[in-house]
Structure 1
């Protein structure tokens, strides 16, 4: 619900622009685009939580973002093009206000010209063999790379990029030949010369495919990119959905999809893994990780397709597929190593995002682990299922098994329903404020748990990581502010303290065409202690080193996020019923500091940061091979991290046993989950903490 976001764009103003509108070819005078620009500007300035002044500074940022968005690798535009474009650097604000699309059309037409010219570049370069004996490098830090001064320099850029693409293929092919020889001693390996030619041909095929997709891009695709450069200047979560994207967004909310179970995002030329869906094929296979870059996609044993530079929607089409089919992904890990993994596609169902629990025995005591993958609610069902009722039910079931403490796992939980985050918080306290919600230009509204009932009054630990976001941060922050739970996990959570609404732009015009929607930031969250979760997230009481410890991940890794700030503290009373809260935290910190595995994880995290910062790639074959193999050898030092196992045994709660006997698929999913829990050093330490927490005797006396 938008509530404070109430405004009406005068329909007559728009009518004046479109009375003669018909479906025509896109030209500089097409009224539809001007209508969209007018409505977008009005909605953003009137409805966004923190509207920007559309001035020269705004203009320059939109200018830079648009150029970088359409040519991220600097392989199309020349410096002379940029010089010509730059006259518009501080004029885009005026053009937005005057419904003038001159800048967009100028850049768009030049891009079409440059991409058409570049078709000859790659074909000419790939017609000749590469000299891999030359000592040369490619710097992939394109943000700090200069544009080519002339076409000769541009050809050198193309040559290096195509040489690298071919080199990576050649390296793989040589390794394949070695493997075939090991399997069959009579096999005659192909020569370096033959494999170099095959690699160039494969690169050529990949480039031809890429340009086919580029040719399929419509005017609307590029115009949507420009519009998004305007909307995302307000903040990274404010995004324009053209009609086709809005349709796909609606479909994605249905909760069931055949594929690998991963959420992907465009990162420059790369397709980046940003989330694994709990219980999905990729999650179960255990080889794909958040932060991995997908370089190539192969359908089973077919030739892999290079997806670097491919539009995200197109890349997803190749990655997803029918249940039971195999997809092989060539991925670049965060440490720079290249790996080919196989995933059998399956149906990713909403069921796997529901609350589930496990019972674990430790030192003669029984504890419960509850996994909450998201804060879900469904208003469309009459008797809707939601995370609050499911959590309450799961706690009651665990209480029947006499658990003495609970660990709630919020790792990778990207959020969801604010309402359920408030209600779930209320399961662990008497009553009181949970979160403060603020619209622009208004005082914060304090959202409270009004139910005095406490579902669980025993020891509580909440496990988070850098990907715990939004509603997860609200729940964790409330439990931390009340001192109701020990928060354990990464250095801090994701840091997303904003909420968005999808706003239909069609309500402001009477065109016969759909102009799309805008996902827009309209609120900001604040803790009951007054601090925002924006950027800062929730800092763990006990910090556990992980692979992201030294990397800027989360909201602070995005462009143009809203800032951290504070509002007045709400009135609340500490829970204050632990006998040894601070002692347990200090004991855990000492344990972690002396744990060899955590030390190794921390060393690995530092190495990963160094690897990520190294943007130079060798184009000499021997140097490339040596560098890659050095990385792979170095990564073996950390192999034992993945081989870690505990002496704990996890099992399903008693109520679930009959269900497992009836449902083989569910039984397999639970077996995979329990296997992962047993190898999870973070769960182990969370259980160490919860097992040591003691409730004050007087609390039990008062309660009883």
Structure 2
């Protein structure tokens, strides 16, 4: 089931502490003592009401036997996507629940979900115990032909526990071999893996009935369509925080390491940064509210519970007991009092840079291409409703960056939407309006068939010059609206890969609106309410946006994208709406492609990138790794030598060095197992690596400017001089 999703955390993090005695009678639902609370019952009924009513849902579905079976299958696969805990015997054991899952949602009866969670917890505990026992055994000879087949998404459930034993044995051996190849001694390997597996078990044990309830409801919402989700009150707060790019707290990113919450990064401008008393790696072991509230020891707590204690309304105080990074955990903590504030999360905000491209002829002028990287279409909905002039907005940030570009007299702009998964539809419309002078941006068809049009109503543009939009398979939803509208208008070049193909519109529905609750009790639903179509009438659904200039495909459409979901809407089209045609790049594309092909054939970074992508895709096709040490070591040595040779070539050619070249060997560790400073350094190095795709996109745009400037007839054909915006000749 390709559309299976992991909700409310990682795969391993979906479990519930339920007495194992419940497993004595899996068919005796009525005898399960763990029952949903009143809020869960109400929330489940509200979610059912929304998703079964065509007044709200774009594609409502009756809770019939078919849908009930889908919920059953999706629930198991969401919990155990790798099929490493449940067996076919376990699935068969719960088969009597299959036809009752729909009724359980409708009635708010989470008992079936708790039963499944109970067995899941039992199976996880058994497997983790077994994995830790394997570390004590002599199973680590790596001279044979064994392999670890890690891709089990489409594999059948293991027939029985014996088959799972074999799978886990190979998985543990692969974990061991990775650390051995990284130069770790046996004792260190055993200690690292034992701690890793124990942390997994502790994560499972820490989850509660709210996690079980959310996972169960999301098996239902995911069966309706791939982009409908249930958020419990805590998850809803986190989602809204991510969209607003702000929070009220101390201004620090936290992560869990073993049993302790650690400061991963101090956010500039926040209370923690202003205090100058925190640094990455510091451990928070106690939290107290106000100036004299009791201190709570938070060692061993779930990270989201610790975060909830630390966050709070601005201008209130919180006290933290902190053990410095360089001290042992049993050292005396330092007590620090902070006043909470509203903190802007700049990491996901739009950012700009300028690329300088060499002149194409002797005596010619260098080209300055401005780049705007936009990771998401964010908007502080609450701040905008409150008419807060400081609310976060992707459009406002991009407009500001465009104004800065104009003062630098740049020659063109590349809008980088790679891996931008979307966000606010309103932001997508308004941001497109920065480049077009009034007109439709997106058509929205509701469940009843009525089609509305949203567009730019503001006269004028923020940028009327040369424009390119860089996309890849990770560009989705709002990104596809912007790229598709720019393409339909002939306003700019679209460069990269075909996009994700998400052409549906979601709306957040607050479940507390109907009872008018003063406190948040029921959560929210991200509900599919419509399908969007571009001004030209085509939907981006399933097909995505096709670029004008193609780069090599990084991930196949059969592996990632809307087309991989088993319940995604099909592609379709409706009538176009009148819109200005600023240009037609078709006559220009063959010349741009020829220049592009010639340039990348000798562009070392682009050639290396294409080679790596081809190699990566070939490895993914195998879906297994060898457990032969000699083979793995030879491959590791080959990769190391390849990076070293490339780095030497960079030096000889005067190219930018790869800051990650010396750290690319697999150290066998998970991100949370590395020292915070080391992990931060690796992530920063990855961000600073040469980006041949971005530079080539800028070069393609510069080519277009030169060609249009040099050929008046071509310029008049591609971009009529009388049409504004779109004055590319400069």
The alignment's TM-score, normalised by the length of structure 2, stands at: 0.67
Partner of 2:153: 143
**Residue 541 of structure 1: how far off its partner (Å):** 0.9
Residues in 1 aligned to 2:476 and 2:545: alpha-carbon distance in whole angstroms:
9
Partner of 2:474: 467
Partner of 1:158: 168
Check conservation: 1:479, 1:485, Cα contact below 8 A. yes
Check conservation: 2:370, 2:410, Cα contact below 8 A. no
The Cα offsets for residues 220-245 of structure 1, whole Å up to 9 and x where unpaired, read as 21222111111112223221112232
Matches within 5 A, 1:171-186: 171-172=181-182, 175=183
Residues in 1 aligned to 2:37 and 2:72: alpha-carbon distance in whole angstroms:
22
Partner of 1:358: 354
The Cα offsets for residues 341-398 of structure 1, whole Å up to 9 and x where unpaired, read as xxxxxx9842862353537465316544140514454414533464445545554554
Q: 1:381–1:57: structure 2 CA closer, same or farther, 3 Å change rule? A: same
Residues in 2 aligned to 1:623 and 1:414: alpha-carbon distance in whole angstroms:
38
* Counterpart pick for 2:105 among 74, 96, 105: 96
* Counterpart pick for 2:88 among 79, 100, 110: 79
Q: Is there any run of 5+ residues in structure 2 with no aligned partner, and where?
A: 1-31, 256-264, 269-279, 283-301, 309-319, 327-342, 360-364, 657-683, 710-714
Q: Is there any run of 5+ residues in structure 1 with no aligned partner, and where?
A: 1-24, 177-194, 263-276, 281-297, 301-310, 327-346, 649-668
Check conservation: 2:113, 2:212, Cα contact below 8 A. no
Residues in 1 aligned to 2:252 and 2:160: alpha-carbon distance in whole angstroms:
44
* Counterpart pick for 1:593 among 594, 597, 601: 597
Partner of 2:196: 206
Residues in 1 aligned to 2:642 and 2:366: alpha-carbon distance in whole angstroms:
41
Matches within 5 A, 1:163-562: 163-172=173-182, 175=183, 195-253=185-243, 255=245, 349-350=345-346, 353-354=349-350, 356=352, 358=354, 360=356, 362-363=358-359, 364=365, 366-373=367-374, 374-378=376-380, 379=384, 380=386, 382-384=388-390, 386-392=393-399, 394-488=401-495, 490-509=496-515, 514-545=521-552, 547-548=554-555, 552-557=559-564, 560-562=567-569
Partner of 1:4: none
Residues in 2 aligned to 1:601 and 1:540: alpha-carbon distance in whole angstroms:
19
Residues in 2 aligned to 1:131 and 1:357: alpha-carbon distance in whole angstroms:
50
Residues in 2 aligned to 1:688 and 1:261: alpha-carbon distance in whole angstroms:
45
**Residue 440 of structure 1: how far off its partner (Å):** 1.5
Partner of 2:624: 616
The alignment's TM-score, normalised by the length of structure 1, stands at: 0.69
The Cα offsets for residues 257-316 of structure 1, whole Å up to 9 and x where unpaired, read as 867899xxxxxxxxxxxxxx9x99xxxxxxxxxxxxxxxxx969xxxxxxxxxx997999
Residues in 1 aligned to 2:110 and 2:693: alpha-carbon distance in whole angstroms:
59
Residues in 2 aligned to 1:601 and 1:167: alpha-carbon distance in whole angstroms:
28
Partner of 1:64: 73
Q: 1:452–1:644: structure 2 CA closer, same or farther, 3 Å change rule? A: farther
Residues in 2 aligned to 1:98 and 1:256: alpha-carbon distance in whole angstroms:
37
Q: Any idea what SS the aligned residue of 1:493 has?
A: coil
Matches within 5 A, 1:599-638: 600-630=608-638
Residues in 2 aligned to 1:573 and 1:382: alpha-carbon distance in whole angstroms:
34
Q: Report which stretch shifted further, 677-686 or 118-127.
A: 677-686
Q: Any idea what SS the aligned residue of 1:232 has?
A: helix
**Residue 82 of structure 1: how far off its partner (Å):** 1.6
Residues in 1 aligned to 2:90 and 2:722: alpha-carbon distance in whole angstroms:
78
Residues in 2 aligned to 1:33 and 1:220: alpha-carbon distance in whole angstroms:
8
Partner of 1:680: 695
Partner of 1:122: 131
Residues in 2 aligned to 1:359 and 1:513: alpha-carbon distance in whole angstroms:
48
Check conservation: 2:372, 2:415, Cα contact below 8 A. yes
* Counterpart pick for 2:707 among 679, 692, 698: 692
**Residue 529 of structure 1: how far off its partner (Å):** 0.9
Check conservation: 2:505, 2:531, Cα contact below 8 A. yes
Q: 1:687–1:352: structure 2 CA closer, same or farther, 3 Å change rule? A: farther
The Cα offsets for residues 316-353 of structure 1, whole Å up to 9 and x where unpaired, read as 99xxx99x989xxxxxxxxxxxxxxxxxxxx9842862
The Cα offsets for residues 520-542 of structure 1, whole Å up to 9 and x where unpaired, read as 22232210111112222211111
Q: 1:561–1:31: structure 2 CA closer, same or farther, 3 Å change rule? A: same
Residues in 2 aligned to 1:558 and 1:259: alpha-carbon distance in whole angstroms:
36
Check conservation: 2:243, 2:378, Cα contact below 8 A. no
Residues in 2 aligned to 1:644 and 1:563: alpha-carbon distance in whole angstroms:
51
The Cα offsets for residues 606-636 of structure 1, whole Å up to 9 and x where unpaired, read as 2211111222233343344345445656777
Residues in 1 aligned to 2:398 and 2:86: alpha-carbon distance in whole angstroms:
55
The Cα offsets for residues 574-598 of structure 1, whole Å up to 9 and x where unpaired, read as 223x7xx334311121123333245
Q: Any idea what SS the aligned residue of 1:562 has?
A: coil
Partner of 1:303: none
Check conservation: 1:460, 1:690, Cα contact below 8 A. no
Residues in 2 aligned to 1:33 and 1:358: alpha-carbon distance in whole angstroms:
52
Residues in 2 aligned to 1:108 and 1:352: alpha-carbon distance in whole angstroms:
35
Residues in 2 aligned to 1:359 and 1:74: alpha-carbon distance in whole angstroms:
47
Residues in 1 aligned to 2:477 and 2:447: alpha-carbon distance in whole angstroms:
18
Check conservation: 2:413, 2:467, Cα contact below 8 A. yes
Q: Any idea what SS the aligned residue of 2:153 has?
A: helix
